[in-house]
Amino acid sequence: MTVDSPPPAVQRLPGRPRADQTTPGARARVLTTADRLFYDEGIRVVGVDRLIAEASVTKATFYKHFGAKDTLVLEYLGIRHDRAVTEMEALVASTGGGRAAVLAFVDGTVAQLQSPRFRGSAFANAAAEFSDPTHPVRAAVSEHQEWLTDTLVDLFKDAGSPMPGDAADDFLLAFDGALVGAYCGDAIAASAALRRTAERLLAA
């Protein structure tokens, strides 16, 4: 992605601010609580009553802001998406894009993989919990993946790759595999494999 890339593909629900904007009061507490619980424990296992209790809001307040749990799930994924967009924009701006941006993205990913709180990809985890491919949650996941693919194509194109689309696809497969491998197995091995893939693709 470049700094003048189009807005995020995931559609924001009415009234939802970007991740870099503040959300005051009860709504913010619900979103913060959902972000923590959905990622740490899973979406299906966390019920509305628990969200309400841990966010210290009333049931009426919850339904006033979100209407249904699925709406909150979309908000959660949207905020995660916006956060990724903001971080990528900052990374591209600080590195100038291209090869340096790809390597910086790998560095940031490796740091996440080795974090004690790492629990895999929030988007892959959500997709695993919503089996219906037509569900809005699956659409949000797909749109995030499309954004990431397009971003990587731009980065590899800027890095001088002769086939940036193929490079982006290969890197994304390695990236997704590293997220799973680090969570389910050896984070150090997954990190090393991701670095090797990035270096190989950049050298092509």
Boundaries of every domain in the chain: 23-67, 68-203
pLDDT score of 156: 97
DSSP structure string for 74-128: HHHHHHHHHHHHHHHHHHHHHH-SHHHHHHHHHHHHHHHHTSTT--S-HHHHHHH
Eight-class DSSP state of 53: H
* Answer CATH for 68-203 from 1.10.357.10, 1.20.1250.20, 1.10.10.60, 3.30.380.10: 1.10.357.10
Q: What is the DSSP string of 2-15?
A: -TTPPPPSSPPPTT
- Which tens digit of pLDDT belongs to each residue from 167-201? 999 999 999 999 999 999 999 999 999 999 999 99
Below-70 pLDDT ranges, the chain: 1-24
The pLDDT score that the predictor gives to residue 7 is 37
Give the per-residue pLDDT at 16: 47
Cβ(33)–Cβ(23) below 8 Å: no
136-158 helix and 69-95 helix, angle to the nearest 10 degrees: 10
CATH number for 23-67 (one of 2.60.320.10, 1.10.10.60, 3.30.420.40, 1.10.287.130): it is 1.10.10.60
Q: 79 and 19 in contact (C-beta within 8 Å)?
A: yes
Identify the pLDDT of residue 24. Answer: 57
How far, in Å, CA of 140 to CA of 133, rounded?
11
pLDDT the model gives residue 204:
80
- Note the pLDDT of residue 11: 40
CB contact burial 51-72 (16+ within 10 A = b; e otherwise): bbebbebeeebbeebbeebeeb
What per-residue confidence (pLDDT) applies to 21?
42
Average pLDDT of the chain? 89
